[in-house]
Amino acid sequence: MKIYRFSRNIQEFSHLSGASISYVIEPTFIKILSVDVPSSVRRQGIGRELLRKVLELAQSSNMRVILDPDSSEPDTFNNDDLIAFYKSEGFALQPDGSMIH
């Protein structure tokens, strides 16, 4: 399995921090593994920008995007916030808890 990653460097308060999205390309879909945005630069559209890059890639390849929203890591959004974020980008929550775009 090959894992791909988009990243964006963020210049803030004269130090460099990074944001990234990791995903796997399967034959018929793309699975997002993680979206990582440093807490100091959240809610500035950076995660949304990275997510949209993967959605554009999927659309150009006529593929679906799937993910499992999980905020079990420390210093992250709660699951309700994550689900609302992904829904705002066109994802639909599935009965098993995964989301599909």
Residue 24 and residue 72: Cα distance in Å, rounded? 21
- For the chain, the domain total comes to 1
CATH number, residue 55: 3.40.630.30
pLDDT of residue 4: 58
pLDDT of residue 56: 93
pLDDT of residue 6: 55
Residue 83 and residue 72: Cα distance in Å, rounded? 13
Please state the pTM of the whole predicted model. 0.79
Interval 11-66: pLDDT, tens: 443 334 578 888 888 889 999 988 888 888 788 888 898 899 999 999 999 999 99
Structural domain range at position 32: 3-100
